[in-house]
Amino acid sequence: MALKIIMDTDPGIDDAAALTMAINDPAIDLKLVTAVAGNVTVDKTTANALKIVHFFGKENEIPVAAGAKQPLIKPFEDAARIHGASGMPGYDFGDDYGHAIEKSAVEALHDEIMAADEPITLVPTGSYTNIAILFSQYPEVKNNIKEIVAMGGTLQEGNMTSAAEFNCFTDPHAAKVLYDSGVPIVMVGLDITLKALLTADTLDKLAGLNKTGEMLHALITHYGDGGAEGIPMHDVNTIFYLLHPEAITTKEMWVDVQTEGPAMGETVGDIRGAYHDGKTNAKVCVDIDAAAFNKWFLEEIGSIKD
């Protein structure tokens, strides 16, 4: 039976690739996509989610809902310098890609989670604002969530400050709500996403696979992240974890989120288990088989029928 998931996302180029995997892999049943302000403003992230869903002809099967326009407290700061002004430059999706449903992201999340006949998996790949509001307004949903596989955080150096990764920096107060929620969490952070780089060889092969490969190649070559060693597909690692956990090393620990001062957004892991009476609140991804990730990435895209 396919794993039922909801993606809360802010497309974004790597989000688009993660959505592509979630929509097309038969082992995953994507029930809902909710958009949040992050890489670009929420009107653009919602439009970009709709574009990907429509690209695969799933607009009548996978609803898209618009969510939070700004973080809970902190002023909004986008990543257009990395993802471009639209969030997904490089490919023409046309103008006829449908509309978001009338429900807000929080209402849609509540209804989908509570209607599920078994606990559902949440996969946030943007800031966690929608989920923080959901938990505040509808705490009962926690009982029907299997786990949260969240892209974000780092135990090492950040990519917004020396301490903070982008998703947690964007809304640190929401990140704290997430990690304090009591729901099982898998932290898919920079500790692995900066190791699982798409190589030049992978990128060279991508465009020739099919129409999907052509689309993703066009987006990724407009991505302002990465360097000579390769290009990180941060959000795609969440889907890789769901499908191939054996390729990722994890360590259970307690993770705290800093919400004030120059370390705002930092995720601090109690790596010695010394400060929370031995309790843990997250399974943190600490290593990954990068070659397996590249092989899987091409196989996933290559299996999609035009």
Name every residue whose Cβ is closer than 8 Å to that of residue 147 and which is 6 or more positions away in sequence. 121, 122, 183, 184, 185, 186
Buried b (16+ CB within 10 A) or exposed e, 67-79: bbebbbebebebb
Of residues 76, 60, 69, 53, the one with CA closest to residue 7 = 53
CB 14 within 8 A of CB 234: yes
The pair of three-digit structure tokens given for residue 80, joined into one six-digit string: 């257009």
CA atoms of 161 and 228, how far apart (whole Å): 22
Q: Exposed/middle/buried for 84, CB within 10 Å: 0-12, 13-18, 19+?
A: buried
Catalytic residue among 173, 222, 234, 244: 234
Name every residue whose Cβ is closer than 8 Å to that of residue 87 and which is 6 or more positions away in sequence. 10, 11, 12, 13, 39, 40, 44, 45, 48, 80
Q: Confirm whether 244 is a catalytic residue.
A: no
| Residue the block writes with tokens 């505040």 | 136
Q: What is the DSSP letter of 119?
A: -
Which positions are catalytic?
Answer: 234
